[in-house]
Structure 1
Amino acid sequence: MSGKSRKIALPGRAAEPAGFAEPVEPAERAEPAERGHPAKLAEPAEPAEPAEPGVELGVGETGGPEGWLAKAVERVVEWAGQRGPSAGERRILAVEGRSGAGKTTLARAVADRLAAPLIHMDDLYAGWDGLDEGVTNLRDWVLEPLAAGRPAAWRRWNWAAHAYAEEHPVPDAGWLVVEGVGAGARVLRPYLIGIVFLRSSPAVRKRRALARDGETYAPHWQRWAEHEDRFYATENVTADLVIENEEH
């Protein structure tokens, strides 16, 4: 990954003067949710921010949640299109960020625009304590084979059975999008064209996740939050493009 990081500050955040560096928010625990596989929530310090405020987009420019998504997709596709292949003949894009930040929504829309297969890290984690194994699986099952010009396939974690289940071949395509905590891990960076990081305030992320996943995640909330905290503290994920998402 080369070049400076760029940040898009999306609705819900006032435009900042040039040269303004946003302070890192204090760590905060969030509360639970679930959808049959992990919806991880927690808010320790975010990964390193770009040194510049980047492109500021106001509410009027994005036109609400649908406008936010359209604008964010355009920016990501424009930026990604300037990168060359990163694993064999593929361009592989990682979409990172904490639970409720909008990773899945953005990644799905970007993948649709690029006609790219989409892999969710939620399908690769080996349960609630399997973040690290999910990262290793992505490298061993998908990224290394693609970089070597070989077919790749990954196995889905069955959250109900607590075991890996069926195998999914990675379709042929010029692109691959991977979304979820861990997609931007240090060991994976050599295979990526870059990392897009979605960021939202703790309150907004919590509201989204609970609305999406309900209350059944409560017993696992802190457990996963600690894994997420540790990952970001040790990996120091540095994004190429940071997108603020305060849409409700």
Structure 2
Amino acid sequence: MSSGPNWPPATGGDLDELAARLSSLAPSCGPVRLVGIDGHAGSGKSTLAGRLSALSGGAPVLHLDDVASHDELFDWLPRLTAQVLDPLSEGRESRYEVYDWTSRTASGTHPLPPAPLVLVEGVGAGRRALRPHLAAVLWLELPRRTAWERGQHRDGPELADFWQVWMAAEEAHFRADPTRPHAHWLVRQSPDRRVGFRVFPGPAGHPREKVAPDVP
């Protein structure tokens, strides 16, 4: 395992290069390169996933907010395995239940094709049980309190009570199952909005790339 992409540590690389590198990784879940985008709530994971999807030709994005629920903030792994990981590992389209946070019930199902690159974003996307299925783990490098403040501002006062429950649950999750030490890349939002994000080598080094076929 190499030390990481050859980017200057002071400035980092950009998302275009990261998107290209993700597409060069070895498949990790059947034919799929499954990439986890993790970080604290409010850190910008959905925005990053959208940017990477656009740069990767429309790679599908699975939002873990659609999989989690009030009763299963982090206990959604059995459903994710049965509804997403198992089908994708066999090269089949998956169809997972989508949770409605307003009605507190499942609102239907959503298809997820076995595309060459699939992005999974949400708190816990790089958890221990998922990492064997992931081609790479990205971590949004934003302090916990800063991310939570942004998230609470985004969601407004009507979700203040839920945030109290969430913050305790998230803190317990990362204390028992930290993602950052296993991240292949750290992503930081740049103060320059024209840049958006900067990408740096993560603690886990560079992930495994696909092996080029022999040339006769």
Provide TM-score, normalisation by structure 2. 0.77
Paired residue for 2:61? 118
Is it true that 1:194 corresponds to 2:194 in the alignment?
A: no
Output the CA distance in 1 between the equivalents of 2:186 and 2:137: 9
Q: Note if 1:101 corresponds to 2:43.
A: yes
Q: Secondary structure of 2:130's partner?
A: helix
Given that residues 204 and 246 in structure 1 are in contact (C-alpha distance below 8 angstroms), is that contact kept between their aligned partners in structure 2? no
Change (3 A) 1:7 1:219: farther
Letter of the 2:102 partner, please give it.
A
Question: Greater CA deviation, 197-206 or 98-107?
Answer: 197-206
**CA RMSD, Structure 1 to Structure 2 (Å):** 2.5
The one-letter code matched in structure 2 to 1:57 is: T
Structure 2 residue 108 is matched with structure 1 residue 166: yes
Aligned length: 189
Give the alignment partner of residue 243 of structure 1, picking from 187, 191, 215: 187
Q: Per the alignment, in what secondary structure is the counterpart of residue 244 of structure 1?
A: strand
The 1-side partners of 2:88 and 2:99 are apart by 21
Unaligned runs of 5+ in 1: 9-53, 59-70
- CA distance in structure 2 between the aligned counterparts of 1:194 and 1:240, rounded to whole angstroms: 6
CA deviations on 1:117-176 (whole Å, 9 max, x unpaired) are 11111110022x412233332222111211122331111001122122201111342111
Deviation at 1:7, TM superposition (A): 11
Separation of aligned partners in 1, 2:170 and 2:5:
24
- Whichever residue aligns with residue 166 of structure 1, its letter is G
Q: Is the 8 A contact 1:6 1:241 kept in 2?
A: no
Matches within 5 A, 1:225-236: 225-236=167-178
- Is the alpha carbon distance of 1:168 and 1:4 closer, same or farther for their aligned partners in structure 2, counting shifts above 3 Å? same
**Is residue 96–residue 103 contact of structure 1 (8 Å, CA) maintained in 2?**
yes
**Kept in 1: contact 2:66–2:98 (CA 8 A):** yes
1:216 counterpart = 2:158:
yes
Q: What code does the residue aligned with 1:217 have? A: L
Change over 3 Å in CA distance of 1:210–1:224 after alignment to 2: closer
Cα shift readout 1:78-126 (whole Å, capped 9, x = no counterpart): 3313311111111111100002211111111101222211111111002
Per the alignment, residue 11 of structure 2 pairs with 57
